Amino acid sequence: MKAMLGLCILGAMPWIGYSLDETRAVAFHFMAVGQLLLTCPSRHTWMHPLPNPYLHAAVAAGIGLQVAAATVPAASQLLGHATISVELWGVVAGAALLAWAMAQACSRFVWRASRRKGWAS
């Protein structure tokens, strides 16, 4: 799901007028932020996971590092991509949240199916 959204970003952004550097930067940050957000749905298996505030702090710190890497020009140049504007952060956030929501829905579906079949107690 996340890969398909990344391909959509790579295909749509140049088509609507963004440069290849901006497109590459948005795709990079989407993949990184999206992967960080997918830690929550991936923890839901046949049982509910215990609360983990350290994991949430690590995800928040990782997202903060992504924002810093995109907004600080020296860090952006070091990583080899252009800085991205606030409107493009909307694309990154929207696509990452959509990927998270789809993964969360799949996770919930599998969890409920396992409960119906008696796999979990």
With 90 as the cut, is the pLDDT of residue 71 above it? no
Share of the chain above pLDDT 70, in %: 82
Q: What is the mean pLDDT of residues 19-35?
A: 90
Cβ within 8 Å of residue 108, ≥6 positions away = 44
- Summarised one tens digit per residue, pLDDT across range 96-113 is 999 989 888 887 777 666
User: The pTM is what?
Assistant: 0.78
Q: Please give the residue that has the higher pLDDT: either 96 or 39.
A: 96
In this predicted structure, what is the pLDDT of residue 119? 55
DSSP per-residue string spanning 41-88? HHT-SSSPPPP-HHHHHHHHHHHHHHHHHHHSHHHHHHHTS----HHH
Please give the Cα distance from 49 to 39 (Å, whole number).
Answer: 12
Q: What is the mean pLDDT of residues 50-65?
A: 88
Contact 25, 81 (CB under 8 A): yes
